[in-house]
Amino acid sequence: MTTATDLLRASPLPALETRVLLTHVLGWRRTELITRDAETLDATAVARFEALAARRGAGEPIAQLTGKREFFGLDFDVTPDVLIPRPETELLVETALDAIAGTPNARVLDLGTGTGAIAIAIAHARPDARVFAVDRSPAALDVARRNADRLLDPARAGGALTFIESDWTANVDASLRFDAIVSNPPYIACDDPHLAQGDLRFEPRGALTDEADGLSAIRVIVETAPLLLAPTGALWIEHGYDQADAVRQLLSARGFTAVRSLRDLAGIERISGGLAPA
């Protein structure tokens, strides 16, 4: 005779996490936890909840347990093969949308797409944009393709997304020219203790760290992006809280103009970018 109220009371997890796991297992809306609080729950559902709650207790990310994470107003499928979309990455999407605001049928390239969150959010906001998404991980590309199929209108003017299995720009058609290139690359240094904490322990290591100083993927992207940018194209890269200076220097040294960094909602310089070298 277990009710949702019983489970909420007994759970050692934070109340918000308990509610998320409960609504996930029961297929309920958040308000039903209140309106159906006295209902006796199905034993299978209770067992499923207990199993997920135990895994959460052992540290597994909520997004992997529910298989979902909201980003830019869209509900993305998440698996252990991909980085979990972060709210601060919405700044990269907004900035890319600004960069292509005056360009009909803009071409956009997302390097290291993972869930596809950045590419798909841009494609969703700009149905006319032609969006290409690269990842070197076939498993990540499967997740991104599934998300694109589910979240984008098949009749969108820009057509279906183009997915490319590639180590950064290596396999991208060299004749293409993009109005915007964006990336949220692995930028955590390999000796950063955060890699052994929280959700990061369960995310693909290759999406988090370059196994070096945290800037090696960014160096490759800054070096190769100009070959694929349209004359007035923009490159924007997400980076760590203390990397803005270094990334601006890399961009300037490669000839990018109008180089600048933008702060996320926490006030941290979170992305840096510039316009294609002349």
Binding residues for ligand GLN, rule: CB under 6 A, are 83, 86, 184-188, 200, 208
Minimum Å distance from CB 192 to ligand GLN? 9
Residue type present at position 171: N
By beta-carbon proximity to ligand GLN, the closer residue of 90 and 276 is 90
Between residues 108 and 208, which has the closer beta carbon with respect to ligand GLN? Answer: 208
- Which residue type, as a one-letter code, is found at position 122? I
Q: What span, in angstroms and rounded, lies between the C-alpha atoms of 44 and 189? A: 43
Nearest approach in angstroms of CB 31 to ligand GLN is 31
- Is residue 234 within 8 A of residue 274, CB to CB? The reply is yes
Least separation in angstroms between residue 185's CB and ligand GLN is 6
Strands (E), the chain: 68-71, 74-77, 107-111, 130-135, 162-165, 178-183, 229-238, 257-263, 269-275
Nearer to ligand GLN, 8 or 246 (CB): 246
The span from the CA of 73 to the CA of 55, in Å, is 27
SS3 state at 152 = coil
Judged by beta carbon, residue 78 or residue 208, the one nearer ligand GLN is 208
Considering beta carbons, is residue 39 or 211 the nearer one to ligand GLN? 211
Residue type, 52: L
Pairing relation of β-strands 107-111 and 178-183?
Answer: parallel
- Do the beta carbons of residue 42 and residue 61 sit within 8 Å? no
CB 67 within 8 A of CB 79: yes
Q: How far is the CB of 12 from ligand GLN (least distance, A)?
A: 25
> Min. distance of Cβ 81 from ligand GLN in angstroms?
15
Smaller CB distance to ligand GLN: residue 158 or 186?
Answer: 186
Q: How far is the CB of 188 from ligand GLN (least distance, A)?
A: 5
